[in-house]
Chain A
Amino acid sequence: MNKLTQRIDKERLLLGIAAPLLAVVAAVVVTTLVILATGKNPGAAFSDMLTYGSASDSQVYILNKATTYYLAGVAVAIGFRMNLFNIGVDGQYRIAAFFAAVLGGALTTPGWISIPLIILCAMGTGAVWAGIAGVLKVTRGVSEVISTIMLNSIATAIIAYLLQPGKLAELQAGGTVVSTKPLPSSSHFFQIDTGAAGVLWGFIVIAVLVGIAYWFVLGRTRFGFDLRTVGQSESAAAASGVSVKRMIATSMLISGAVAGLIGMPTLLNDSHQFSNDFPTGIGFTGIAIALLGRNNPVGIALGALLWGFLERTTNHLEFEGYDKEILGVIQGVIVLCVVIAYEVVRRYGLKRQQQRVGAELAAQAAAPTQKQEVA
């Protein structure tokens, strides 16, 4: 019996890895065809990506990017585990980063007080923004897909209204960039100087902690069990005494709070202010990464690193004379392939299971007769 479980687990693991791997391989094939179609040499492109992507400054860049993307992936994955499609991560992190930046610029307290306050403010704002969608779903039955998309636009409008000179922002020298008041240098998050390779953001530590917390809470606590149960079957969860509505509201709040962290590596380690060129669209990247990582804490990390690697290396491909649209093609194909590959692998796994169960049943049917014979 022990041997059997071992075999199943290995198979599960293999099947789990197979889908993303299949997607990446398919993406490589499609990209090769696209580069061939533009009349260039794909082999040279891939080898350039590998050498450039493995240089030490590229590694630092990739880790920094992945820090942001990992938080985005986890924020989305929390919703996914509940069967909630939180598209609003994008608006949540932007509005959270904005208010955190305003607070951070106004604080004059020492860093060990300011930094936690800024982070808490971001998490709080993100949670409130996601909570609106949660409350609407629980009380009025509004689909979170619709409400979070709308809240994204509302967040954009609110930021645009407040991010103006004379309101909560100021005009910078040159007269073209509007930003919040910069954070005092005491409120900058710690970073690791790696010399020529650049500066590694200290926020990567927080991202790792978030990953561990995500794994622990979902996999090792009663709350996480309830959450996954609701995600798999609401009626079953309700029958076993779980308050579905409360779970929906809570998980939206947590998803929003983690979303609030997405803008923090950029704010605390890099820009130190929220300006009209703050990166946008990371919430949607998070959806792709959560899909790629199968909502698994390690998987999301690998997805985030892959995304960072692709951005770094395709930026350089443009420099080498390849078309800059290659990045979009690779990312799009990966996401598409991931969805298809999961379905293919799931069906294959199901078939295998059926065969195995069939074989077991057959063995069981055969076993009693043997016993009888022995007896």
Chain B
Amino acid sequence: MEALGNLLFGFTIALTPYNLMVAASGVFLGIIIGVLPGLGGTSGVAILLPMTMVMPATSGIILLASIYWGALFGGAITSILFNIPGEPWSVATCFDGYPMAKQGRAGEALASAFVPGFFASLFGILLFTFFAPPLAELALKFGPPEYLAVLLLAFSTFAGLGGGPLEKTLVSMFAGFLLGTVGLDIVTGEPRLTFGTIDLLAGFSFVTVCIGLFGLGEIMVSAEESLQFRGVQATIRLREVWRVVRSLAEHLRTFVMGTLLGFWVGVMPGTGATPASFMSYGLAKQSSRHPHKFGTGVPEGVMATETAAHAAGIGALLPLVTLGIPGSPTAAVMLAGLFVWGLQPGPRLFVEQPDFVWGLIASMYIGNMIALLMCLLLVPFFTAILRIPYAILGPLIVLFSAIGAYAVKNMMLDIWLLLIFGVVGYVFKKLAYPVAPLVVALVLGDMTEEALRQSLIMSDGSFTIFLTRPIAAALIGVALFIFLLPMLRPLLPQAVGGSRAAPLSGR
């Protein structure tokens, strides 16, 4: 019950007028980012990260997290009303949401996205509130070898569960690590891979790489498609909300399955709301009594997708706060935020920065409530944003990306890098290289190297330290197994057909 006391303490922080305003503006911006196709939650958080440098750390994380919650809600609006996914995690929301809207049930479809999504978030936050402290306590006992093992586990989930071609995942991951080593060596102080330039001494800024790969890359991909917004107008009536709330009991199985699956996929490093939403839709369809109706406008389809996406968003922050390992690419950007605010990520946060951790947890409850209210009341306003012509919106997003990239280090080089990584992101996306491993490897590279070096110093350079410590050995064993999974897969006769079907590498 200690958690309850801490949570109350957290609410005293999150409910201050300033933090409440920060949460509300974060959610508002997040919904707009969510509604706009071609501007994803990950890049939205990355673009706005530099703006939090002037805030206290707690307000900064509340802003970024609230943008994430808002984007999780907002994506569904565009999917349902325009049949264009506002976010990658709401692609599957189109499948049943748009048919419902065309049948004149747009309000019900929107309510079926928002209300179960909110309850899934709430359920996820409850799990978070009570699981995070014991997990952090366990992680506090970890030394560098155990920590390295956890990191290895994180990276092996990319390779093993990534779904895409293994060699492309590895290219992406190695490239991220390699970019991470550019700059001053943490131990010897020598400049590494700088090609003799001074500008590269500080290394590649994670924020720039992220905005380039996700933000600019996405805009380039969507520039090809020249989207047309012809959709359905809708407002949500209270009656429809009530009907969905009551139908939750009827669809309890879809709801619980989606939430638990989403939360678990969210906790797994690197895989966030997008794969969770696809997996949950597939699972709901398979286990339904009427699978053939999926895709024609059944509320369960919307519900399954949205519950999983929302729960995954919450779950992705669990390893971030307890271990310092991001559970999704968006969480990876928030991890970069921790460094910007001068905090040391990891389990010691619970001991040294309780106001930060518990303020964040309390703000999750508040942020999601604000998001639900805004969405239920303001759908017509948010769809009006889509009427802003692309020739104005696109350049504005590019300009704000440039501000975000420049603000971290005040260097023009970062704006050029933004364009370069934009092109890289575009090419990677078209050729099916997963981008998430690159950004996570880049942000975790230093920590991985540090953990390895410290372990080797502890053991005087002997690698046996990883085998003689039970927790480390067990975790490395699991990591190896997951890593080898794609190679074992062809050996399993029944899995040959559909093993590549689910795209797991997203945000």
Q: Do A and B come from one complex?
A: no
Q: Which residues of B contact A (CB under 8 A)?
A: none
Q: Which residues of A contact B (CB under 8 A)?
A: none
